[in-house]
Amino acid sequence: MRNSDFDILVVGGGHAGTEAVRVAARMGAKAGLITMDRHKLALMSCNPAIGGVGKGHLVREVDAMGGIIGQAADIAGIQFRRLNLSKGPAVRSTRVQCDRRVYTDFVSKFVAGLPGIEIIEDEAIGLVIEDREIKGLRLKSGREVSTKAVILATGTFLGGLIHIGEKQISSGRRGEPAATGMTESLNEAGFETGRLKTGTPPRIDGNTIDYDLTEKQPGDDPPPYFSHFHRNKPALTNDSFCYLTYTTMATAEIIRNNIDRAPLFSGQIQGTGPRYCPSIEDKITRFADKPRHQIFIEPEGTGTAEIYLNGLSTSLPEDVQIEAVRTIIGLEQAQITQPGYAIEYDYVPPYQIKPSLETKQVDGLFHAGQINGTSGYEEAAAQGLVAGLNAVLYLHKEKPFVPGRDQAYIGVMLDDLVTRNISEPYRMFTSRAEYRLALREDNALDRLSPFGKKFGLYEGCELKIIEEQEKDLRETIAYLKTTRFNIRDIRKCYGLPTKKGSLSLAELICRPDFVPEMLYQLSDNSLRGKEDILEKAVILIKYKGYLDKQEREIERARKSERVKIPSSFDFKALSGLKLEAVEKLEKFRPATIGQARRIDGVTPSDIAVLTIYMSQR
């Protein structure tokens, strides 16, 4: 066997690619990161924000396994918020508005300092494949690099085409060239490819906005950390503000009058866009009865006056964008520093990958991020971590890491990718997880640290943090269960019904009239400073019945996941399956009965036939 230049080659220096090389370095692999610009790693080409509902869960999970994204968000954060605090613990999520420049600088320096990682400023234009196994990459410079595994994390660069009105620019993102050649190489290898579309809003000079006409949105006090691990924990600040404003009837009229010049409606754009993040022209058309739409004014950093208009994604001509922006409340004098645009790019429909993110057609080739039809920094980072980890396990001929839907949002996403027909950019939501009460942000480290330990993803200081948090949680729960107060004393403070005897803090937590401030006052504020641990302890006590019930549901679902389906199984040869089920099963090639159950077009009767046959085997 010939020696390779690298164990792993990663194509693309975005959020997926940087997480992939991070985990590869932790596991001792020699990896090369191929990117066009080593100073723009994990560049936030869209909104400079990390997290949000569902997405924040992914960030916490990636961080829990030693990833970069959580630490980078804390370092670059300029506003920190917890969302959905008035709702149940399953949907509480963290969101951080970041300084775009600081975020990229941090990740670029971080990756450059990783042991065993070489950054190659070049462009990959083709795959080198022998006998359905990856052997290397051809680069634009003429160099051919050999490797044992490849991770394609190409973002929006594959055949990237920017649209601003009638203007079309071949580009991977604003100001950078598109990647050419790789799509053709994938097609030659037998992959089906398609086109998707995403977009960004115009950027505005913040000095030209009348903030007095908008609604100020401050961050939280104290600001929440994303990362569990910091060598030197940064002091978080909420000095920056976001603002809320609205479009007007005049905005809608301008857009409707120019809709024929919108690439999305003129037929110029062929790719499918994200349903959950529509352009402003799409909103005006689909929701014609709405008199206005929300626009969030969000800073791009502390060292710039540039503003991101969240909610105003558009590909209208620049002159129309200028006219429309100035009809928005508070933006009557606004100056556009960069017009919004839509971008089309190539992707590989993910029915062609395994849950490990390795492709079915080519051994040792992995796909991560937008090439799989997903959208968002957080989804990309999670896939990058999984692809990097599984590429190393592939080298060692070990079983891949594929968490279940009951173990992580990462597992939910991986399963969705290989069982759903991804025809539009995929975005994570808490509603996608059927066991979301068990998959909370607060317990990400509890759920995933066993995997991190197993694969050697932690250093000594990180293992110590994990041990300390586990110890603190045990002690806090014990304190809440054993510390009791005379009910009369509690009644005096909080007006609870008269009752003889005493009440433990744990029993108090389970009362419907409980508020967390009670714990601080009754404990003489001895629990101050332990807010994160205390929140987790309260959830485990207050929702114990629901958590136990969900665990029983999870165990029942695991039974169908244990029934394996051979990768070479001929579904056409099995009588009793409906024709549509055969077609879908042959296309998606589910690994288990559980996966087969989640494929659209496969009915309960089809599952019964499959289950009986596989059980007999």
Rounded Cα distance between 275 and 521, Å, is: 47
Q: Check if the beta carbon of residue 149 is closer than 8 Å to that of residue 316.
A: no
Rounded Cα distance between 224 and 234, Å, is: 12
| Arithmetic mean of pLDDT, 22-37 | 97
Return the amino acid letter for 231. Answer: R
pLDDT tens digits, residue range 108-146? 999 999 999 999 999 999 999 999 999 999 999 999 999
Q: Tell me which of 86-90, 234-238, 254-258 is least confident.
A: 234-238
Return the amino acid letter for 408. Answer: A
Cα distances (Å, whole numbers) of residue 415 to 188, 348, 357, 374, 591:
27, 16, 10, 13, 10
Cα distances (Å, whole numbers) of residue 316 to 257, 270, 311, 368, 559:
11, 16, 14, 30, 51
Return the amino acid letter for 257. Answer: N
pLDDT at 238: 86
Nearest Cα to 411, choosing from 392, 393, 394, 436? 436
What is the four-CA torsion angle of 494, 500, 504, 505, rounded to 10 degrees? Answer: 0
Q: Check if the beta carbon of residue 372 is closer than 8 Å to that of residue 422.
A: yes
Pairing of strands 365-367, 484-486: unpaired
Question: What is 487-508 written as a DSSP string?
Answer: HHHHHHHH-PPP-SSEEEHHHH
Whether pLDDT at 273 is above 80 = no
Domains and CATH numbers, the chain: 6-200+345-454 (3.50.50.60), 203-341 (2.40.30.260), 470-537 (no CATH), 563-616 (1.10.150.570)
pLDDT at 514: 84
Helix (H) or strand (E) holding 438: none
Q: What is the pTM of this model?
A: 0.94
Q: Which residue has the higher pLDDT, 531 or 579?
A: 579
Rounded Cα distance between 362 and 347, Å, is: 16
pLDDT tens digits, residue range 78-114? 999 999 998 999 999 999 999 999 999 999 999 999 9
Whether pLDDT at 492 is above 70 = no
pLDDT at 423: 84
| Arithmetic mean of pLDDT, 239-253 | 95
pLDDT at 518: 81
| Arithmetic mean of pLDDT, 24-47 | 96
Whether pLDDT at 488 is above 80 = no
Return the amino acid letter for 202. Answer: P
Q: Is the peptide bond before 222 cis (omega within 30 degrees of 0)?
A: yes
Q: Which residue has the higher pLDDT, 421 or 547?
A: 547
Nearest Cα to 299, choosing from 367, 381, 380, 209? 209
pLDDT tens digits, residue range 192-210? 999 999 989 999 999 999 9
pLDDT at 1: 36
pLDDT at 520: 81
Rounded Cα distance between 483 and 326, Å, is: 60
Tokens describing residue 373: 């039809």
Q: What is the mean pLDDT of the chain?
A: 92
Q: Using a pLDDT cut of 90, give the percent of the chain over it.
A: 80
Nearest Cα to 295, choosing from 330, 250, 249? 330
pLDDT tens digits, residue range 425-453? 999 999 999 999 999 999 999 999 999 99
pLDDT at 285: 92
Q: Tell me which of 293-297, 323-327, 556-560 is least confident.
A: 556-560
| Arithmetic mean of pLDDT, 544-573 | 90
In three-state secondary structure terms, 112 is helix
Neighbour-count burial of 235, counting CB atoms closer than 10 A to its CB (0-12 exposed, 13-18 middle, 19+ buried): exposed
Q: Check if the beta carbon of residue 31 is closer than 8 Å to that of residue 54.
A: no
pLDDT at 3: 67
| Arithmetic mean of pLDDT, 162-166 | 94
pLDDT tens digits, residue range 183-193? 999 999 999 99
| Arithmetic mean of pLDDT, 293-321 | 96
pLDDT at 132: 96
pLDDT at 516: 81
Whether pLDDT at 23 is above 50 = yes
Tokens describing residue 157: 């660069």
| Arithmetic mean of pLDDT, 472-499 | 77
Question: What is 310-355 written as a DSSP string?
Answer: ET----S-HHHHHHHHTTSTT-TT--EEE--EEEEEEE--GGGB-T
pLDDT at 584: 92
Q: Which DSSP letter does residue 178 get? A: P
Cα distances (Å, whole numbers) of residue 226 to 29, 74, 94, 610:
27, 6, 7, 43
Neighbour-count burial of 120, counting CB atoms closer than 10 A to its CB (0-12 exposed, 13-18 middle, 19+ buried): buried
Tokens describing residue 49: 């924000």
Rounded Cα distance between 438 and 550, Å, is: 7
Nearest Cα to 347, choosing from 426, 419, 401? 426
Whether pLDDT at 489 is above 90 = no
Please work out, in degrees rounded to the nearest 5, the angle formed at the alpha carbon of residue 154 by the alpha carbons of 150 and 158.
Answer: 120
In three-state secondary structure terms, 134 is strand
Entry field: residues in the chain = 617
pLDDT tens digits, residue range 505-542? 899 899 887 888 888 877 776 777 788 899 999 999 99
Rounded Cα distance between 273 and 285, Å, is: 15
SS3 for 50-62 is EECCCHHHHHHHH
Rounded Cα distance between 439 and 149, Å, is: 31
pLDDT category of residue 560 using cuts at 50, 70 and 90: confident
Tokens describing residue 102: 């600081």
pLDDT at 386: 98
Q: Dihedrals φ, ψ of 460, to 5°?
A: -60, -40
Rounded Cα distance between 195 and 345, Å, is: 6
pLDDT tens digits, residue range 342-387? 999 999 999 999 999 999 999 999 999 999 999 999 999 999 999 9
